[in-house]
Amino acid sequence: MIEVIDLHKTYGRGTAATRALNGINLSVRPGEFVAIMGRSGSGKSTLLHILGLLDSPTRGQFFVQGRDMLKLTETERSRFRLEEFGYVFQEYSLLPGMSILENVCVPAIGLGKGNNIRKRATDLLQVVGLGERLKHQPGEVSGGEQQRAAIARALINRPAILFADEPTASLDVTSSRVVLELFRKLNKELGQTIVMVTHEPDDRQYVDRVVWLKDGLIATEDGHPRFDGVSDAA
């Protein structure tokens, strides 16, 4: 599903340069639920943003479903993001002034899919446990409920991969658990491929595999670089 070879990312130039990724090799199989973990500054967000086509690497290779992601034009990238990827961030980023249901429909409108989209959005909101909240505004529901609405929104276009960047960082323990159990259910029951950045050690119990990062390299759990730079298979 995802194949990354010797991926590097350097921010800035010269003396101001920061090497955020130093040669990442990583494969993610269809249907896998992978967590990217490591200390603050280890490169987790940088890697997730590159995988999600929200940023570009300095060098390396990157394929999704066999397609070379670094050869896409800007228009193809935008289209690929909308059609194949779903995103969940720490901030739910729902649009105020729109109902939860309308928010979930937004990415589908971006693809010009009009028909049956409200029905699909309604079904997804049932799946995430918000069947009773369709007409509420984002500000009228809890943080955990907003995040579940954001998850439904991320799934509206049937993405091949769901990317989540610290999805529970703004939530209390109970809401966090609900969100992670929801990810687990989507992964198990729908076969949804999920790549999630988290710094919560407890989140490990929900995923198939943890990819540890240290100083922009794949590491072992105790922080040693792996000599082959490759993450373990599940």
Chain residues that interact with ligand ADP, rule: CB under 6 A: 11-12, 18, 20, 38, 40-46
* CB 56 to ligand ADP: min, Å: 12
Q: Which is nearer to ligand ADP, 157 or 198 (CB)?
A: 198
Q: Which is nearer to ligand ADP, 42 or 175 (CB)?
A: 42
* CB 207 to ligand ADP: min, Å: 17
Burial classification of residue 84, based on how many CB atoms lie within 10 Å of its CB (0-12 exposed, 13-18 middle, 19 or more buried):
middle
Q: Which is nearer to ligand ADP, 36 or 94 (CB)?
A: 36
Rounded CA gap, 197 and 212, in Å? Answer: 10
* CB 47 to ligand ADP: min, Å: 7
Q: Which is nearer to ligand ADP, 12 or 139 (CB)?
A: 12
Rounded CA gap, 26 and 24, in Å? Answer: 6
* CB 198 to ligand ADP: min, Å: 10
Rounded CA gap, 196 and 69, in Å? Answer: 20
Rounded CA gap, 22 and 82, in Å? Answer: 28
Q: Which two tokens stand for residue 132?
A: 């009773």
